């Protein structure tokens, strides 16, 4: 790629190199969109995973309460 610096500080490119730059910028844009989409779905999956873990812990708490209640009922029956 040939860059020509003009006297007023500007940069000029040859015509075919401008097309190359457009393609490079287009590819970078596509990659950026793809990576942001991957990040979005990754965050969704992590969010779902934490939701599942929270539901599991709530379920485990409920089961634990039921087990304690059942154990106390069984113990009271043993004494009778």
DSSP bridge partners of 12: 4
Q: What is the DSSP string of 33-75?
A: HHHHHHHHHHHHHHHHHHHHHHHHHHHHHHHHHHHHHHHHHHH
Question: How confident is the model over 28-79, as pLDDT tens digits?
Answer: 888 888 888 888 888 888 888 888 888 888 888 877 776 666 666 555 555 5
Tokens 């610096």 belong to residue: 5
Determine the pLDDT at residue 8. 60
Query: Domain segments of the chain: what residues?
Result: 3-79
What is the pLDDT at residue 17? 66
């Amino acid at each position: 790629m040939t860059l020509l610096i003009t006297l007023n500080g500007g940069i000029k490119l040859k015509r075919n190199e401008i097309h190359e730059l457009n393609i490079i910028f287009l590819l970078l844009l596509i990659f950026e969109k793809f990576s942001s989409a991957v990040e979005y779905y990754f965050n969704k999956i992590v969010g779902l995973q934490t939701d599942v873990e929270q539901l599991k812990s709530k379920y485990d708490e409920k089961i634990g309460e039921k087990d304690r209640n059942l154990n106390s009922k069984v113990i009271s029956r043993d004494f009778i």
